[in-house]
Structure formats: structure tokens, C-alpha cells
Amino acid sequence: MRASKYILPTEKENPADAVVASHRLMIRAGLIRKSSSGLYFFLPLGLRILKKIENIVRVEMDATGALEFELPILTPSEFWEQSGRWSVMGKEMFRISDRHEQHYSLGPTHEESFSVLVKPMLKSYKDLPVNVYQIHTKFRDEIRPRFGVIRSREFIMKDAYSFHLDDESLEQTYQEMRTAYRKIFQRCGLKTIPVQADSGAMGGSASEEFMVVSPIGEETLLLCSSCGYNSNSEKTPFILQNDSFPKGPSEKKEVPTPNKKAIDEVAEFMGVRPEDTIKAVAVKNGKESLLVFLRGDLDLNENKLKSALKWTDLEMVPESDLQAAGLVPGYIGPSDVKSPFQIVLDTSIRKDSPYVVGAGKDGAHIQGYMPSRDLKMEFKSIDVALTREGDPCPNCNKPLKAEKGIEVGHIFKLGDKYTKAFQIQVLDRQGKAKTLTMGCYGIGVNRTMATVIEQCNDDKGIYWPISIAPFEISLVTIAKGEEQETKALEFYDALKNEGFEVFWDDRDLGPGFKFKDSELIGFPIRITVGKKFFESGEISIYNRKKDKEEIVPFSGFDDLISRVETLRQELFQELLEEQNS
């Protein structure tokens, strides 16, 4: 490809709305342009990268025996009604209607569509297991689209769905997908950690997210270096340390605490630790209102609460609603709870120990409050606290380490939620109708692309892993006059005819400008044929990732080709070794 015939709108300046490296560099390198909030145009160079990632995903999925389909993006509301998700998916699902007042969503995910599609094709246990997938556009009306294509409103996803007669078969495919995912991300140059995850609105039992550790990650991962337990903090159980007991006064009495509402203030004022207090958090969904009581130093993990109570949404109760229910915000204790509120007591609270709690009136707390003795109302005891760095590992009790992570893929065991709703059954070996069990497996293709840039950039720009680089080689020539231009073309033809992917910067620009562009875009190998070549027969071979240039005498195209091929092979080899280390 010749740069002079390409559209290559590189930019010197960072876009004003880009706060992360990948977003800045994708725009500056001319890979994408913004259309509007959460929507991006892909330009030719960017599209080549996206297609290469898609291709790696496709090859590895096909290698597991999964079958590729393509389904309509518009999905009829009846499909969603049948699974019960039309009302559950909320505002994140784009909904439209046609001229006949038929309703549709722009598919955010395709469990329903694939269920409808495969149901009539699966008749006997002999047809199983199957794993079907597509690589296609998804739509999600994200509350906060951000970080460019990392969280956009329209994006490419590989989504796969597997169907099985029993759990053993599901487990086998789940593990195959797990292995395939690691390979896919490894080939893209990403080191991923599978972490246990919350199954959310999708329903189902087991799920793991594939995370790339990055400071810009929106997820918090809790990792145990001792036993290898890894989980998303949305899901991590909170383990109460065996020797952690409240140390506050045990004599029960009311203590005036004027203007002390926040836990830290109350604790300091009363000379106790935040761990010796109990705090209240009021939440509600459309139907129920709850007062959740947690140990004072802990925060509520909304996901664990939603998951435990099977709530699909959750919001904080405004102070005015608390006041209307006769409660005094800042001073709510477990014994003050009134209808319509129900009580959840987090498992971090020791029921036979004394705590400092709100007294239910302005400016007062109670010390020595013992839930087993003093809490008369019925309550649910659930683990709903947010586990933090340093808390014990749920598996081996050693302290957990926290990291930020970007989720690039997700695998789920869905169980029979959809197969029941769509009555997907086959005849088993005994000739009896059996409802299938199901798994689903997603990879964000554009997010993967951006995540690679987050991991592979320096002050000059991007350095692409060779496997997904827009072109493997950039050829920069600085030729003056017809004779030199003919020679430059010979270099291009020689490399191209050898089958290399070459991007030839033949533009009528100075070397500095061309070098800057090639380093910004991040071609892994650059060959320069310029002044040195025409004066003393030397060319340069530059390794973008190492930022290392080698000047070599040109001794014919065979030699050049073998040098380039050696470097190319090295880069592929390094890629696999790095991710394995």
C-alpha cells in the first residue's frame, strides 16, 4: 500500500475529550474518528487492525469446532418477552419500532435470538453439544460512554452460545472456551487473568471475566498470589478475620454525639475505631426498601446485594424518604427500622458483640449494642460488603492484592434460564425429552484493540504486536529525482512480492515527518531507504517496540528479505513468550 494513495489523517495534537492513551492515540494515528457520543468511524488503518483481531478470534473459535453464523441486529420484542428480559434490560437497551408498531431492540447480546434460531435444529442428544457464534455489531446505550472504543455505544462483539445435554458437557465446552480465550488474547499480545465474576442480569451459575491489568481499568480485581484465587471485587466474598472483634465499650447506654454523623467523626468522638461501629445504608428497587447495616469501616457492595436478593436494579433512598419514614439520617440504628424498610445485616457484624450504633434520634448514638440481644425485628444475614485489598482470601486466608482491570472477555455458564424460557429440548438416550443447559462467551473486539494500545504505547505513539499491526512493515523512502524514485519502487516491489505486508511511505515529505508518523502509528518494522542508501549503500532496519535501529549495508534483495523475515519471526516468537512469562 502506498501512503500517497491512502487516507492517513494523523494529528499532532491530542483530542480534547480523550483522557486515556488508547483513545488519544487511536485518533492521532488516524485509526478512528468520533462520530458522536460513544460512536466512532473506523478509518482504513484502524479497520485493518480490527479485522486482524476478528480473524484471530475466528480462527481460534473455529479450531474448537464452534460454528459461525450471522444474525440480524434488530431483534423482535417477542424474543425478549419470552425470556422475560424486555422489562429487565432497562435503558441500556436501544429500542425502536417499525411502521407497523412492532417493537425491536438493537441487540445488546443475542441469547434470545440464538435460542430461537437453534431450537428447531436440535432434536436429539446426537445433535449435541453445539457451540454457535457470530462476530457482529452490538448496541448498548451506556450511561457513560467513555475511553473511546473501550466503552462505546456501538461495538463489535464475538458472542458464542453453547447447548448441552448435561452439566459435564457444558463444563467441557466452558473449559475449551477458557483455553481458546487465553490463546486469542495471547495472540493479540495481551496478558489476561481470568477472574471469578458476578453473573448479573444474564442469570446463571459460574462466570469468569478475562481481565487485563491496567491503571485505567474500570473493574477492581482481588488477586491472591498464594493460591491463585482471582475475582472481581463485585463478587469477592468478604471473609471476617478470626481475631477481629469490636473493641468498643460493652456497657449499653445512649451517648450524646451532637453533629457527629459520619462514621469517622462518631468513632473519633467516642474514642473507638470505625470497625467498632455499625453503619446504615438505605437502598430500594421498584418494590422493596432496605436498611443495610454494615461494620462501620466497610462499604456496601451493591452487586453482591443485588445478586443475593435477585434484584435487577438498585438505587439509594433519598434522605427525604428516610425522614418521611420517621428515620433520622446519620443516626439510624438497627432497632429504629420502621416499615416499609426491611433489615439486612451484613455478615461482617458479629451478632454477639457490642457495637456503637445510631440511637434513632438527632445527636445521639448507643454504645454496647449487641444485635443478638437488642435487635428484635426480623432480619436477613447476607454477605454484602465490598472486599478490599488486604482482606483475607476466601480460599486460603492470605491477604488479597487489588489491581485495576479492563474486561476484554467474559465466559458464563447460563444453566437453563433460556433453554427453559424457549423450551429447548431434545430426546435423550432413553428417548425422554430433556431441557438443555447453556453457556455463553463474549469478547469485545474493539475494546481488545484499545486495550492493546493501553499496554503497548510510549511517548512516540503505539507499538503494535506484529500479529495485529495494520501493516507489518513500513517502508520509508526519501528519493530525489526519477532514478532514485525508480530504485525506491524496486524496494517496495521486492518486499511486496515476497508476501510481506508493506506500507510504503512514498509521500513527498521530509524524513522527520515520515518517521514521526510511522512511530505514531506503530508499524513493528521500519525499513528506511534514504540519503545513506543513495550515498553509501546503507539502509536502516528499525524495531519499533525496542526503539532500536540497525544500519546495514544493502547487499541485494535476498539478503534484505532474509533479514526482515528473521526479525518478523522473532517478533512473533517474542509475542508468545512474553504472554507466557
Q: Which is nearer to ligand ATP, 113 or 348 (CB)?
A: 113
CB 160 within 8 A of CB 441: yes
Cell numbers 440481644 correspond to 373
Task: Indicate the helix (H) or strand (E) that contains 434.
Answer: strand 433-435
Cell numbers 478475562 correspond to 210
Phi and psi at residue 221, to the nearest 5°: -105, 140
Q: Which is nearer to ligand ATP, 28 or 151 (CB)?
A: 151
Cell numbers 419514614 correspond to 325
Minimum Å distance from CB 149 to ligand ATP? 6
| Three-class SS state of 444 | strand
Q: Which is nearer to ligand ATP, 57 or 294 (CB)?
A: 57
Minimum Å distance from CB 81 to ligand ATP? 20
Q: Which is nearer to ligand ATP, 446 or 528 (CB)?
A: 446
DSSP 241-297: -TT----S--S-EEEE-TT--SHHHHHHHHT--GGGBEEEEEEE-SS-EEEEEEETT
- The three grid cell numbers given for residue 101, joined into one nine-digit string: 408498531
Q: Which is nearer to ligand ATP, 41 or 513 (CB)?
A: 41
- The three grid cell numbers given for residue 455, joined into one nine-digit string: 499496554
User: From CA 444, how far away is CA 442, in angstroms rounded?
Assistant: 7
- The three grid cell numbers given for residue 41, joined into one nine-digit string: 468511524
Dihedral over Cα of 230, 232, 233, 239: its sign: negative
Minimum Å distance from CB 6 to ligand ATP? 27
Q: Which is nearer to ligand ATP, 214 or 367 (CB)?
A: 214
First to last CA, the chain: 35
- Taking CB atoms, the residue at the shortest distance from ligand ATP is 444
Minimum Å distance from CB 160 to ligand ATP? 11
Minimum Å distance from CB 217 to ligand ATP? 10
Dihedral over Cα of 261, 263, 266, 269: its sign: negative
Minimum Å distance from CB 85 to ligand ATP? 13
Phi and psi at residue 489, to the nearest 5°: -60, -35
Dihedral over Cα of 272, 273, 277, 281: its sign: positive
Q: What value, to the nearest 5°, has the Cα angle with vertex 88 and ends 83 and 90?
A: 135
In 111-233, alpha helices (H): 111-118, 167-187
Minimum Å distance from CB 108 to ligand ATP? 8
Q: Which is nearer to ligand ATP, 83 or 477 (CB)?
A: 83
Report the candidate in 445, 430, 431, 423 with the shortest Cα–Cα distance to residue 163. Answer: 423
User: From CA 254, how far away is CA 517, in angstroms rounded?
Assistant: 71
Q: Which is nearer to ligand ATP, 410 or 417 (CB)?
A: 410
Dihedral over Cα of 470, 182, 24, 91: its sign: positive
Per CB under 6 A, residues contacting ligand ATP are 109, 140, 142, 151-152, 155, 157, 407-410, 442, 444, 446-447
Q: Which is nearer to ligand ATP, 18 or 157 (CB)?
A: 157
Minimum Å distance from CB 522 to ligand ATP? 21
Q: Which is nearer to ligand ATP, 125 or 147 (CB)?
A: 147
CB 440 within 8 A of CB 205: no
Minimum Å distance from CB 140 to ligand ATP? 5
Minimum Å distance from CB 210 to ligand ATP? 7
Q: CB count, 10 Å around CB of 347?
A: 18
Minimum Å distance from CB 448 to ligand ATP? 7
Q: Which is nearer to ligand ATP, 160 or 495 (CB)?
A: 160
